[in-house]
Structure 1
Amino acid sequence: MLEPTYQADVVIVGAGVAGLSAARRLTSAGVTTMVLEAAQEVGGRMATEKVDGFRLDRIGRLLSTAYPELRPDGGLDGLVLRPFAPGVLLHSDGRHHRAGVQPGARGARSARGALYAVRALASAPRAGGGPRRPVAVPDRQVSVPRSRTGAPLGTAVDQARLGAAFSKLAGTPVERLLARPETTAAEALPGRGLPARTIDGFLRPLLAALLCDPELTTSSRCADLALRAFASGRLCVPEGGAEALPRRLERGLPAGTVHTGVRVTSVSTTSVTTAEHGEFRCGAVLVATGAREAAELLPGLRVPDFHPVTVLHHTTDEAPGTGASLLLDAERGGPVAHTAVVSRVDPSRAPAGRTLVSSTVLGPPVPGVDTAVRMHLARLYGVPTGRWETVGVYHSPEAVPAMRPPHDLRRPVRLLAGLYVCGDHRDTGTVQGALHSAHRAAGAILADLGADRPLDRAEPAPTARAA
């Protein structure tokens, strides 16, 4: 029998960060790849709206410079990560207390070090020749400075214990963390050997912000991974908005790889069928959509629960005096899980002379959310907010896949020979998890296709609009 003709070696369904990252690895290995996206833009949930010169993220996910997937050798060599000030600010008893900072780290100097680490270290020479391997950001968030009376971190001894715990966590191999007994993050906190004041005033609000899970029902193993990333690097956001990450991945692909406005209706091991352009023949199919969309194409795939998120963006002529810090409420006295003057972190997100404050609310939508958030922000920042202008409110009911125990952090990406799936629902429910699952899926595809099996690509692809 004649071998079938293919329009691409691999067709990827979905142009979010997982699909684009997998395409980047496949094309780098010489595998012809076609990415089909139903929306008119790439990026999926990592979308950024442009409103009157502001860049507004729809989901305020916090990244970490410790993520190995964000290094230049992962296809993101042009991505600029803008770090928050070291650690976080905790609001308690009407005062701000900085927590999670390495001793000796100083504002601007350490912030510049974190910013340039990702984009500069890849090209710096090293002894013996060749490029330097990118490393983690030098300022590790492993301890806590002295506190004032009423701080949520307890005594100096308590702070030293917290610093030692973070230092140990930063140096613990991931495999050892994944081998620990699993429970919920909330149930595991009392067993960390820290006083209740430190747990309730610092670790609970920090984990809620990192996991987008206000009740801390997340697997304790996933919580350990999140705390390890916090202790090993710096919290950050992409310069130019969340969309900068998928845009950077797209720019690293050969021209014509990504096609937007193409809705896939069914998949098999050798083809995908679309509503607009008929059938695309291929050697393998990778479904890289969100969990619910993937289950529609792959019946029997489990759909997890989700953590809903609402992000509110306000502008004001005068910036609150918190600098480029991520601000948490140690008392959890309002709807805001975390907030920041994000234009201080990334000036490209606001027009010159304007200030952008971005705040994240976790859980189902709250009636009158803008009013409630303004009242909470007035207390957190210590300034009136009645005259602040609301420039965007975005609610995402399925923002983050829930990771309740027992949670398999390495769910299979190979369903059949020729049919694969990836995304944050196959790994951890984070941007890092989406990128890592894409790496696993691309590796499985390359192994199954085999380097000695060239595919016949004689038949041209149906016309589709290239992104």
Structure 2
Amino acid sequence: MSAARETTDVLVGGAGVAGLACARDLLGAGVGVRVLEASDGVGGRMRSDRVDGFVVDRGFQVFNTSYPQVRRRLVLKDLRLRPFTPGVLVHTPDGRLRFSDPTRRPRTLPDLLPGRLAGPRDLAAAGLLSARDMLAPPRLLKRLRDTTTRAALADAGVSDAFVETFFRPFLSGVFLEDRLETSSRVFHLVWRSMLRGTLCLPAEGIGAVPRALAAALPEGTVRLGTPVERLTADGAATADGREVPARAVVVATGPGPVAELLPGVRVPHYRVVTTYYHVVPRSPLGEPTLLVDTRRRFLDTCVLSDVVPSYAPPGHALVATSVLGRDEERREHGVREALAEAYGTGTDGWDLLAVRTVEDALPAMPPPQPLTRTARVSPGRYVCGDHRATGSVQGALASGARAAREVLRDLRP
């Protein structure tokens, strides 16, 4: 193929959601774009596999309907979303307790009676915190003093006991960290999105989200199995030795390739998470609800087939359980013991279907945490991804949108 045929206005390296959003905005502005993706499919970390008839996401993920970028770019009904229960089950030494949103399910109000999960002061403090975050404009939350999530909860009047019973177990699974050290501004924005939106999963797995974004691009825009090996003076060179001339290059890969292609760009530390997928004859829970553990032997667990029945073939149930760090010898055995206690059932007959370790699951976001960073690295060189904003689908999409705006500004001064 000739170099002239390969020439494009903008080359985007990486077909994750950030790169796809960037490409879509550039194409919408009339700029020629080519997206090169190293793997065999779009999505980056948002991929789903079929394993023996089961849908296995590459790490446990949820989809939040309240994100502005999501609503702008996707037709939600086309994803056939199935919701989680608006609440969380907390496994404690005294049994399971439920923390629910009574504004969505009034019948769960008795679960919040003082003395069950928390006392009246803690419930009042959590209620006031939630009301402020849900009703306040995002721009006000972004201007709050940035501290840790733990400090923000203390400032809101939440006791250490309630933090340890609910917020720490639950938020450990949200931010993939155990000490509530994430930026309080990020916490407030994420808490707001949870209160205003619905946590769901697409019927075909989380990978349906990037596939929908890619489907909105003209055919031939994305080329799979074509990793960018290095940037050149005129564009980029692929691993097979071809050069793709371009007026601008946007690096939208994972943190490892970003560091290799753009050595001067600082990439934050990323959290590592491992998810175990177990097949069981029938659901040990019977409801689409997230379950967390006050002893934090796992981040969270849920029966995926209770949320989306098509995740498992008829006559089976699929349980996903995530833990911080990598898979290690005998670790699954310890997880299985914790699940037996949390679900209140034997797990000896559970079959391990798959193990998925995601090395770059989520960027660490300690304070002070900038909520957005410029995409421009140098003339003709740009970068986007959740590490340039917040660790979420919203952050990745917004970063891709910002990269497109900056590219357009530079190409059309």
TM range (shorter): over 0.9
Letter in 1 for 2:392: T
Q: For residue 180 of structure 1, what is the aligned residue in structure 2?
A: 144
Range with greater deviation from structure 2 (58-67 or 97-106):
97-106
Q: For 1:420, which of 367, 373, 382 is the aligned residue?
A: 382
Instruction: Report how far residue 428 of structure 1 moved.
Output: 0.7
Relative to the length of structure 2, the TM-score reads 0.92
1:328 to 280, 287, 292: 292
* Stretch moving more, 384-393 or 226-235: 226-235
Q: Which of 332, 343, 346 is matched with 1:384 structurally?
A: 346
What corresponds to 1:358 in structure 2? 320
Letter in structure 2 aligned against 1:359: T
Alignment match, 1:151: 116
After TM superposition, list the pairs within 5 Å mapping 1:23-172 onto structure 2.
23-71=23-71, 73-76=72-75, 78-103=78-103, 105=105, 145-147=110-112, 151-152=116-117, 154-172=118-136
Q: Alpha carbons of 1:75 and 1:158: their partners in 2 closer, same or farther (altered >3 Å)?
A: closer
**2:363 matched to which residue of 1?**
401
Per-residue deviation, residues 140-188 of structure 1 (Å, max 9, x unmatched)? xxx9654368633x13453233223211111122222222222222333
CA contact (8 A) 1:413 1:441 kept: yes
Describe the shift of the 1:319–1:75 C-alpha distance in structure 2 as closer, same or farther (beyond 3 A).
closer
Matched, 1:248 2:247: no
Kindly tell me the number of residue pairs found equivalent between the two proteins: 409
Cα 1:406/1:268, change in 2 over 3 Å: farther
Higher helix share: 2
Tell me, yes or no, if the aligned pair for 2:286 and 2:306 is still in contact at 8 Å: no
Q: Would you say the 8 A contact 1:334–1:372 is kept in 2?
A: no
2:391 counterpart letter in structure 1: G
For the 8 Å contact 2:9–2:32, the answer to whether it is kept is yes
Cα offset, 1:395, TM superposition: 1.5
Deviations 1:95-142 (A, max 9, x none): 3322131335269xxxxxxxxxxxxxxxxxxxxxxxxxxxxxxxxxxx
User: Matched residues in 2 for 1:269 and 1:232: separation?
Assistant: 46
Please say if residues 285 and 303 of structure 2, whose CA atoms lie closer than 8 Å, have aligned partners that are also in contact.
no
The DSSP-based 3-state class of the residue aligned with 2:91 is strand
DSSP 3-state at the match of 1:254: coil
Deviations 1:369-404 (A, max 9, x none): 211111111111111111111101112232211112
Structure 1 consecutive aligned stretches of length 4 or more whose deviation exceeds 4 Å: none
- Aligned residue for 1:118? none
The more displaced of 196-205 and 243-252 is 196-205
Amino acid at match of 2:37: E
Q: Secondary structure at the match of 1:336?
A: coil
Tell me if the contact between 1:340 and 1:358 (Cα under 8 Å) persists in the aligned partners: yes
- What is the deviation of 1:277? 4.8
- Aligned partner of residue 214 in structure 2, secondary structure: helix
| Among 269, 277, 280, the residue aligned to 2:244 | 280
**8 Å CA contact 2:114, 2:120 repeated in 1:** no
Amino acid of the structure 2 residue aligned with 1:237: L
> Residue 235 of structure 2: which of 251, 271, 275 is its match?
271
Measure, in 2, the Cα distance between the counterparts of 1:254 and 1:384: 51
TM-aligned CA distance change 1:144 to 1:35, over 3 Å = farther
Separation in structure 2 between the aligned mates of residue 87 and residue 286 of structure 1, nearest angstrom: 39
> What SS does structure 1 have at the residue aligned with 2:299?
strand
* Alpha-carbon distance in 1 for matches of 2:377, 2:267: 15
CA distance in 1, matches of 2:373, 2:382: 11
| Partner residue in 1 for 2:158 | 194
Note the aligned Cα RMSD (angstroms).
2.2
The unaligned stretches of length 5 or more in structure 2 are none
**What code does the residue aligned with 1:430 have?**
S
Q: Is the 8 A contact 2:169 2:296 kept in 1?
A: no
Q: Counterpart of 1:62 in structure 2: which amino acid?
A: V
Question: Which range moved further: 274-283 or 347-356?
Answer: 274-283
Alpha-carbon deviation of 1:54? 0.5
Q: Distance in 2 between matches of 1:191 and 1:234?
A: 27
Q: CA deviation at 1:340?
A: 0.7
Q: In 2, are the aligned partners of 1:18 and 1:288 still within 8 Å (CA)?
A: yes
Q: 1:155 to 1:406 in 2, by over 3 A?
A: closer
1:66-109 residue CA offsets vs partner (Å, 9 max, x unmatched): 211221x31455333322011211222443322131335269xx
| SS of equivalent to 2:158 | coil
CA distance in 1, matches of 2:252, 2:110: 43
Alpha-carbon spacing, 1:42–1:104, altered in 2? closer, same or farther (3 Å): closer
CA distance in 2, matches of 1:98, 1:89: 5
Quick one: distance in 2 between partners of 1:234 and 1:359? Answer: 21
